[in-house]
Amino acid sequence: MPLTDIQCRNAKPKADGSPTKLADGGGLFLAVTAAGGKYWRMTYRFEGKQKLLSIGEYPDKSLADARALLGAHKRTLKAGKDPAENKAVAATGGTDGFETVAREWLEAQKPAWVPEHYQRVLGRFENDVFPEIGTMRCRDITAAKVLEVLKKVEGRGAIDVTKRIRQSIGKVFRLAIATGRDERNPAADLVDALKARPKVKHMASLEADEIGQFLTNLQGYDGERQTRVAIELIMHTMLRTNELRFGKWSEIKGDHWLISAERMKMSRDHKVPLTKQSKALLSELRTLAGDSEWIVPGVGGQKPISQNTMIFALYRLGYHSRLTIHGFRSTASTVLNESGLWSPDAIERQLAHVHGDKVRSAYNRSEYWSERVKMMDWWSDYLTERNSNDLSALLA
């Protein structure tokens, strides 16, 4: 039977003065020493060995605190790690501690996140937040203290990361409020206390909330069907105009599109993941292209589509000066970055951007392929969900 607070308070050594222990279940028990001291212990198996972990002293750590820590340690075990080596979890300030609440929030989000994103958010907490406020009770953490944490990150020049950490901290406090462990969210007071990201002038592009209407308008385009499909494909692949225009069927390699370094005018090839939506659009273009070597051929099929065909289609749709083909890349970059699900480096690699920072470019040669495949699937699904006339017919 699980322990009660009364049993914990009244627990004593055995009548002969020897130590005793009271089991609560799940490996948790209260050890009572001959001198009357009371200590929470947890038994568990790791890599085939029986192990014992000290959780804290009663009543400093209440029964509820001990159970919460037991849960945290079991999650650590489930992740394939030894709780005894995870020192951060052992000092989380009990059930009201910020780290305890943060780990509860992280576990709740885990099923909906890709593993890379979960590890990225967890890493931000473990590197920048837990060392500063992890052991503090949520209700004792002030806006000034949170700002102190954020300013250290901001001081490294990581403006975007600082913003995301503030958002994550705010969500942890929302959980604390919802579960009665705090009454206010100090992170909410800091929106205007941090540096804003410098504005960069982009090509005319769509706002996120304009994507759905544009796709609806595009479905009603009364010009060449090939042009409409090409515009959709460029949205799903995030390619530049010329990367699509001069694309040949020989570059399509099943699950990806391989554009040579020579054609990219870069030092390496550009490998583009093809989602189910992109493949469906390519299939339609294949039918329209006939025996042309070009993915989107011009009249007669001997040359690629002209440079102005797609932009003129945007004009006919009423987007003159409001949108450019290149602007689709800006929209994608904004949505992907603001989602917080994907690393900025993976997004930049997908856009095939060349950085002026030669040191960063030299050391950052990773393809981020696994993450980019998942990211592009997410992006294609994002577009499809906003298209009232989606690709269901093509994907059937």
State the pLDDT at residue 392. 40
Q: Structural domains in the chain?
A: 1-63 (3.30.160.390), 91-195 (1.10.150.130), 208-395 (1.10.443.10)
- State the average pLDDT over residues 280-293: 95
State the pLDDT at residue 244. 95
Closest among 310, 336, 335, 333 to 323, alpha carbons compared = 310
**Contact by Cβ (8 Å): 98, 133:** yes
**Contact by Cβ (8 Å): 34, 40:** no
State the pLDDT at residue 395. 39
CA distances, 133 to each of 148, 150, 306 (Å): 10, 11, 59
Widest pairwise Cα distance in the chain: 101
Percent of the chain at pLDDT > 70 equals 90
β-pair partners for 297: 304
17 versus 252: which is more confidently predicted?
252
Position 361, amino acid? S
In terms of average pLDDT, the best of 4-13, 39-48, 278-287 is 278-287
**Contact by Cβ (8 Å): 109, 129:** no
**Contact by Cβ (8 Å): 165, 128:** yes
Rounded to an integer, what distance in angstroms lies between the CA atom of residue 297 and that of residue 304? 4
State the pLDDT at residue 79. 77
Rounded to an integer, what distance in angstroms lies between the CA atom of residue 180 and that of residue 55? 23
- How many alpha carbons lie under 13 Å from residue 233 in its C-beta half-sphere? 26
CA distances, 141 to each of 61, 163, 186, 206, 273 (Å): 20, 18, 8, 40, 44
pTM above 0.85, yes or no: no
By annotation, the residues acting in catalysis are: 240, 265, 326, 329, 353, 363
Per-residue pLDDT tens digits for 173-198? 999 999 888 889 999 888 777 776 65
Instruction: Please state the three-class secondary structure of the chain as a single string.
Output: CCCCHHHHHHCCCCCCCCCEEEEEECCEEEEECCCCCEEEEEEEEECCEEEEEEEEEECCCCHHHHHHHHHHHHHHHHCCCCHHHCHHHHCCCHHHEHHHHHHHHHHHHHHHCCHHHHHHHHHHHHHHHHHHHCCCEHHHCCHHHHHHHHHHHHCCCCHHHHHHHHHHHHHHHHHHHHCCCCCCCHHHHHCCCCCCCCCCCCCCCCCHHHHHHHHHHHHCCCCCHHHHHHHHHHHHHCCCHHHHHCCEHHHECCCEEEECHHHHCCCCCEEEECCHHHHHHHHHHHHHHCCCCECCECCCCCCECCCCHHHHHHHHCCCCCCCCCCHHHHHHHHHHHHHCCCCHHHHHHHCCCCCCCHHHHHHCCCCCHHHHHHHHHHHHHHHHHCCCCCCHHHHC
State the pLDDT at residue 81. 80
State the pLDDT at residue 364. 43
Which residues touch 1 (CB under 8 Å, ≥6 apart)? Answer: none
State the pLDDT at residue 388. 55
Closest among 156, 36, 165 to 98, alpha carbons compared = 165
Is the pLDDT at 168 greater than 90, yes or no? yes
Closest among 313, 307, 335 to 217, alpha carbons compared = 313
State the pLDDT at residue 80. 83
Is the pLDDT at 199 greater than 70, yes or no? no
Strands in 28-32's sheet, in edge-to-edge order, are: 20-25, 28-32, 38-46, 49-58
Closest among 173, 176, 214 to 324, alpha carbons compared = 214
State the pLDDT at residue 354. 64
Is the pLDDT at 14 greater than 90, yes or no? no
**Contact by Cβ (8 Å): 94, 62:** yes
Percent of the chain at pLDDT > 90 equals 40
Instruction: Name the band, by pLDDT with cuts 50, 70 and 90, for residue 61.
Output: confident
State the pLDDT at residue 396. 35
Is the pLDDT at 359 greater than 60, yes or no? no
Is the pLDDT at 334 greater than 80, yes or no? yes
